[in-house]
Amino acid sequence: MTAQRTLIRDGWVITVDPEIGDVPSGDILIEDGRIVAVGPDLGVTDAEVIDATDRIVIPGFIDSHRHTWQTALRNIAADWTLSQYITGVLVQLGAIYRPEDTYVGGLLGVLEALDGGITTMLDWSHALNTPDHADAALDALVESRARAVLAHGNANSIWLGPASADWSDVRRLREGRCSSEDGLVTMAMAVRGPDFGSIEAAEEDWAAARRLGLRITVHIGVGGFGSRHVSLLNDRGLLGADTTYVHCSRLDDDELAMIAATGGTASVACEVEMHMGHGYPPTGRLLAAGVRPSLSIDVCTGIGGDMFAAMRSTLSMQRAMANDEMLNAGVTPEHLEVTTRDVLEFATIQGARALGLEDRTGSITPGKDADLVLLRTDQLNMFPVNHPVASVALAANTSNVDTVLVRGEVVKRNGVLVGVDLPRLRRLADDSRDFLLSSVQAPRDGAWQPAAFAAG
């Protein structure tokens, strides 16, 4: 059988692979979904051609933590603290989710991400109240055609108490639909950790994940919920290279060093951390400890869903903090420590590392799958291009996302997602939103202000 060959021709290619670097006027040859060559003028004549003239080509973005199940509740928590979010979204809404709400939230969330150039997402899915909910979450990820990790976070009810979790549904999926590591959709375990449960429950959860051979993702160092909790996990010997620590805002520097020493990865959700009371985004402190973070959106109940805003906010917040520290020491800043290239790397290859997928995606490297994004540079916010990495990290927005490929398959072409029934999706999202908000008698005009949840 002849191979399916595609040539991305003549783009400005930012590979995010330190060995290859940037390739101006670069070609990328794809064979059966995999990148086989990157370079200037590959001279290939027997492949389907995607013209990348006036395009910057980057690896697809990777969102290392997003709760897609909430997407139909978009922006309801925009003016809430984390404590109010726990009351409104977890206590009130999470309990009444139906499988169809989980499904449409997931599908809308992942398609929005794909449309904006995020080709891989870890779906932090923690209102899986029945096995039908988990199947619905998985159905949405598979249907989206994105690369995704279903991080199974159990039923909503376990999040509000220190009791042991029942992981039998994780085992069911692990032994069934998620038994393979080769598919586009794989699985991880989303655990409560000591911020949201007891240390004894954490020990059980870590042991369950490792028995099942699943990577672990955990919120930790979260606002008033977390104090010395990485240290506590370290005392129990639980830290490891299979774990991604989300937020880390209130962790002490020695705890960040413990994460580094055990090979762990981190996910910074800068906008949410700044808005909702998590503490300062720890980007610079993580870097100082030797952990290069990935980036995440977290909740579309609070903020927008694209990686461009995540890169901009991460960089501007980190620069503001570093510059302020120097000014307070009586020193005028003379250079910027964290660069646009750093933040693009956080949004791509570091996301792949956090998901355990760095052999498959995260950079434009021969041997990896072709998860690629072509950004238009012939639009008003993009030309002339004088610093291509900054064009991506600071100037671009989702309207520049022209073409998106996942494992070589074109899922967005000429600015339009391929094969998506938008009227159906909108009808399902509206129906779900109507059911959910009317069930808790919440208004849709932005006036809903839940009471704060008591931090414990």
Q: Minimum Å distance from CB 246 to Zn ion? A: 6
Burial of 377 (0-12, 13-18, 19+ CB in 10 A): buried
| Span of 86-94, 221-229, 295-303, 419-427 interacting with Zn ion by CB under 5 A | 295-303
Site residues for Zn ion, 134-163, by CB under 5 A, read none
| Span of 140-148, 161-169, 256-264, 296-304 interacting with Zn ion by CB under 5 A | 296-304
Q: Which CB, 70 or 377, lies closer to Zn ion?
A: 70
SS3 track for 171-197: HHHHHCCCCCCCCCEEEEEEECCCCCC
Ramachandran assignment for 175, one of left (phi > 0), alpha (psi -120 to 50 degrees), beta (any other): alpha
Q: Which CB, 160 or 418, lies closer to Zn ion?
A: 160
Q: Minimum Å distance from CB 135 to Zn ion? A: 22
Sheet containing 215-220: order of strands: 61-66, 118-125, 147-152, 185-191, 215-220, 243-247, 265-268, 294-295
Phi and psi (nearest 5°) for 184?
-70, -30
Number of residues forming the site for Zn ion (CB under 5 A): 1
CA–CA dist 58, 308 (Å, integer)? 13
Q: Which two tokens stand for residue 353?
A: 């590392």
Q: Does 298 bind Zn ion (CB under 5 A)?
A: yes
Q: Which CB, 101 or 298, lies closer to Zn ion?
A: 298
Q: Which CB, 298 or 306, lies closer to Zn ion?
A: 298
Residue ranges of alpha helices (H) inside 159-269 are 168-175, 199-211, 229-235, 253-261
Q: Minimum Å distance from CB 124 to Zn ion? A: 5
Q: Which CB, 151 or 370, lies closer to Zn ion?
A: 151
Q: Which CB, 144 or 267, lies closer to Zn ion?
A: 267
Q: Does 273 bind Zn ion (CB under 5 A)?
A: no
Q: Minimum Å distance from CB 405 to Zn ion? A: 28
**Are 101 and 93 contacting, i.e. CB atoms less than 8 angstroms apart?**
no
Q: Minimum Å distance from CB 248 to Zn ion? A: 12
| Span of 11-19, 100-108, 292-300, 367-375 interacting with Zn ion by CB under 5 A | 292-300
Which residue is nearest to Zn ion, using beta carbons?
298
Q: Minimum Å distance from CB 71 to Zn ion? A: 14
* Residue 77 CA: distances (Å) to CA of 88, 301, 430: 8, 5, 17
* DSSP 8-class letter at 298: B
- Binding residues for Zn ion (CB under 5 A): 298
